[in-house]
Amino acid sequence: MNKKLDRRKKYTRMVLKDSLINLLKTNPISAITVKEICKKADINRSTFYTHYSDQFHLLEQIEEEIIADLNSYLNQYNFEQEEEALQMTEKLLEYVVSKYDICQTLLNENADHSFERRVMDVARTFLIKNWMSNNEVDPDISEYASTFVTSGSIYVIKHWLANNMDQSPKQIARLINRVEITG
């Protein structure tokens, strides 16, 4: 009996998440209501409130899952040397490819910018650590330099997603790393 409830709970959360993601493709989060999410998911509003407090809470949970999954994916690899920066960037882009629909939606103009900031934090952790240690950057400006490099990388990724990933992850990784290394 407990397994059945678990599956039902997982299914409910999945359809609610999918419904919100579909609505985010055309509407900003501030314009989406719980009623719309429930209608699209064919779920009762009371069921929605059993799992989430509002649409912002649901979006936050989606973002947290993606960020945790991204961190877990990237932590599988050991990127300590400068020549591994390209591989790390490529792995990050391969992850984006594997989650294309949700990443494109969460990084589009209708999305809340919190996901973008969270991705920047992950990128800063994995990309900048290597870049900062291999470039002579004044510690007083390192935070500014890392923000500059990371935000530029995120916007390259957003542009790439908007163009339906018209280049391979390897090509985009080379571009990002070339800019980071010469920046």
Model confidence, pTM: 0.81
3.40.50.720, 1.10.10.60, 3.10.110.10, 3.40.50.10950: which CATH number matches 2-57?
1.10.10.60
Report the distance separating Cα 54 and Cα 48, nearest Å. 8
Q: What is the mean pLDDT of residues 142-148?
A: 74
Domain-by-domain residue ranges, the chain? Answer: 2-57, 60-182
- CA-nearest of 12, 53, 14, 32 to 112 is 32
Using an 8 Å Cβ cutoff, are 93 and 174 in contact? no
Using an 8 Å Cβ cutoff, are 9 and 52 in contact? no
More confident: 164 or 109: 164
Helix (H) or strand (E) holding 142: helix 142-162
pLDDT tens digits along 69-127: 988 888 887 666 555 667 778 888 999 999 999 998 998 877 778 888 888 888 777 66
- What is the reported pLDDT for 15? 97
> What mean pLDDT value characterizes the chain?
83
Buried b (16+ CB within 10 A) or exposed e, 18-33: bbbbebbeeeebeebe
Percent of the chain exceeding pLDDT 90 equals 45
Determine what percent of the chain falls in helix, strand and coil, rounding each to the nearest 5.
Answer: 75, 0, 25
Which pair of structure tokens corresponds to residue 33? 């209501």
pLDDT tens digits along 4-25: 668 889 999 999 999 999 999 9
Residue owning tokens 């920046």: 183
